[in-house]
Amino acid sequence: MLDIAGNLRAVKDRIAAAARRSGREPEEIALVAVTKKFGARQIREAAAAGVTDIGENYVQEATAKWLEIGPAVRWHFIGHLQRNKVKAAVEIFDMVQSVDSVELAQELGRRSVAAGKTLDALIEVNVSQEATKFGVQRSEVPDLASRIASIGGLRVQGLMGMAPYFDDPEQARPHFASLKELFDRLPDEQRAWLSMGMTQDFEIAIEEGSNMVRIGTAIFGPRG
């Protein structure tokens, strides 16, 4: 039987140790539990063990879970968001971590205003510069951040990125350091969250300045 609570304790211990190595308190690091391909039962179990933030990759899958769970947790969209899914996404998500164009930001803002809410957003950066990965290029970040800063209904709060997968997570360090450097150049009001680090590399990410990690496998086990 999967021990979600036990796994969560182990992950939090590792987060705490990495935070202290980087000169910060564990409470400064937000944990987003990624529940792609896991159901409402696992979300409830994780919430009972102290998880407050849930990450989902697909709007349709998340909607089904949201109808069961509702606003008992904070919902983060972390996948690639198509513009035809924005209306549904705005209805259930509290934060979209994958804004990668002015056009998407404008649509998110427009839908948020119509829904009477302000949506938190992160700009997704293609840190690895891999053609198969989504996100803007590093050189595009300052201009995009500036252009979407005034969009109503949207509150840009930082950056999100994903390092390439390495057998040795230490190799991800330069990618995280690069994203932290970009983050530090943003205006103060846009520097709330630097979302980087997943199961295989979150400790390195924290050491390099991440204050939000997205962890699924280490909590819920391998996906089917």
* 3-state SS, one letter per residue, for 18-79: HHHHCCCCHHHCEEEEECCCCCHHHHHHHHHCCCCEEEECCHHHHHHHHHHHHHHCEEEECC
Predicted local distance difference test score (pLDDT) of residue 1: 67
Asked whether the predicted pLDDT for residue 27 surpasses 80, the reply is: yes
CATH of residue 168's domain is: 3.20.20.10
Predicted local distance difference test score (pLDDT) of residue 132: 75
Q: How many distinct structural domains can be found in the chain?
A: 1
Q: Is residue 166 a contact partner of residue 195, using CB atoms and an 8 Å limit? A: no
Residue 221 lies in a domain: no
Tell me the pLDDT tens digit for each residue of 118-153: 999 999 999 887 777 889 999 999 999 999 999 999
Tell me the pLDDT tens digit for each residue of 191-216: 999 999 999 999 999 999 999 999 99
Point out which residues pair with 34 in neighbouring strands.
55
Beta strand ranges found along 84-180 (DSSP E): 95-99, 119-125, 154-161
Six-digit token string for 169 = 């997570």
Predicted local distance difference test score (pLDDT) of residue 2: 84
183 or 133, greater pLDDT: 183
Residue 224 lies in a domain: no
The percent of residues in the chain predicted with pLDDT above 90, rounded, is 94
Mean of the pLDDT values across residues 56-69?
97
Element (H, E) at 214: strand 212-215
The residue range of the domain holding 143 is: 4-216
Q: Is residue 52 a contact partner of residue 29, using CB atoms and an 8 Å limit? A: no
Residue 223 lies in a domain: no
Residue 191 lies in a domain: yes
Mean of the pLDDT values across residues 165-170?
94
Residue 85 lies in a domain: yes
Residue 152 lies in a domain: yes
Q: How confident is the prediction for the chain on average, in pLDDT? A: 96
d(CA 122, CA 108): 12
Tell me the pLDDT tens digit for each residue of 81-110: 999 999 999 999 999 999 999 999 999 999
Q: What is the DSSP letter of 166?
A: -
Looking up tokens 């086990």 gives 221
Residue 222 lies in a domain: no
Residue type, 60: Q
Q: Is residue 142 a contact partner of residue 168, using CB atoms and an 8 Å limit? A: no
Instruction: Tell me the whole-structure pTM to 2 decimals.
Output: 0.96
The percent of residues in the chain predicted with pLDDT above 70, rounded, is 99
Residue type, 168: D
d(CA 53, CA 8): 13
